[in-house]
Amino acid sequence: MIRIERVTRKYGDLVAVADVSLNIERGEIVGLLGHNGAGKTTLMKMLTGYLEPSEGDIVVGGHNVVQDRLAVQRQIGYMPENAPLYPEMEVEDYLLMMANLRDLPPEKRGRAVAVAVERTGLQNHVTRPIGHLSKGFRQRVGLAQAIVHEPSLLVLDEPTNGLDPVQIQSIRELIQQLGQEATIILSTHIMQEVEAVCDRVLVMIDGRLSADSPLDSLLHSDTVLLSVKGAKDVSAALSKVQGVEAVREVGADPRHDDASTWAIDHEEGATVAPGVLELADKEGWTVLSIGPEQRTLEFVFRSLQAEHVAKQEAVA
């Protein structure tokens, strides 16, 4: 569906996106994650044909974005962070206008608008001026204009930005429904957004693609967290844990101030808890807790950020 090959975008001396390559298959819901200024929006604007890459190629549905922009844009529904809504227009009139701009035949526009309105829950608001709607419903209008032509690719930039928790949940459910029929790229800096709706995660840091993985794989961990009491010589204790079968590495868990909470990295698929508990009993340590590490996207992102900073410092 999408092929991005060695794409770079520069603004003068500023490199906003640097040498990004990836493929996205039809039917995936992909989360594009990164801090503000990481290059997410620039990448999405290039994908939709709004910007041209300084280097590299982007192909959507067999069409090159630069060489055949209109053919690409006909396949795409795009909801920018601040959707271009006209507050004085009624919802239905605005959506009919967007259907017209998307080259839908006149005889199909009414039906297309009706379907988009129903899918976004706007049935009771079609005759209201957009400017009179709450922010949550304005977001729904922005989403409705993006799907009115039934695109095969839906590109959403911060679709729940500024919404309250109830509105956020509603939009998430809608995105999951739309994902049954279209490929979706969801750009956000909100980790929970990606965890809630995405199958795959792309992480951008300072314009570079730092991770590209299925969500389950990214959150998978071969680490056990052990909290003990009574280990007087921590260095010696860590060395002894290192000797347990299938343990690859052990050290103090940086997420805890207490030096007696340790992260034990083990071989994939191995069970190390029995051996660790046996060692603790032998050494006279009191085990306060032991269990698999529960990773979050926030933890993964911070780890990637730390690795990126370390690499930058090493180069400097």
Q: Which residues of the chain have pLDDT under 50?
A: none
Could you say which DSSP state residue 293 is in?
A: -
Cα 38 from Cα 246, distance rounded (Å): 38
Query: How big is the chain by its Cα radius of gyration, in Å?
Result: 25
Beta strands in the chain (DSSP E): 2-11, 14-24, 29-33, 55-60, 63-64, 76-79, 153-157, 183-188, 200-205, 208-214, 223-229, 247-252, 261-266, 286-292
| Residue of 154, 148, 138 whose CA lies nearest to 96 | 148
pLDDT for res 99: 96
Tally of CA atoms within 13 A in the half-sphere of 239 that contains its CB: 4
Task: Give the number of residues written for the chain.
Answer: 316
pLDDT for res 257: 66
Hey, what are 184's tokens? 């979706």
pLDDT for res 283: 94
How far, CA to CA in Å, does 144 sit from each of 115, 170, 210?
9, 14, 32
pLDDT for res 259: 67
Return the C-alpha torsion angle 216, 222, 228, 233, nearest 10.
-140
| Residue of 40, 120, 53, 116 whose CA lies nearest to 80 | 40
For the four alpha carbons of 62, 67, 73 and 76, in that order, the dihedral sign comes to positive
For the four alpha carbons of 120, 123, 124 and 126, in that order, the dihedral sign comes to positive
Q: Which residues contact 54 (CB under 8 A, 6 or more apart)?
A: 8, 9, 10
- Whole-model pTM: value is 0.83
Hey, what are 51's tokens? 């910007």
Structural domains of the chain, ranges and CATH numbers in brackets: 2-218 (3.40.50.300), 221-294 (3.30.70.100)
Q: 94: exposed, middle or buried (C-beta count within 10 Å: 0-12, 13-18, 19+)?
A: buried
| Residue of 101, 102, 100, 94 whose CA lies nearest to 120 | 94
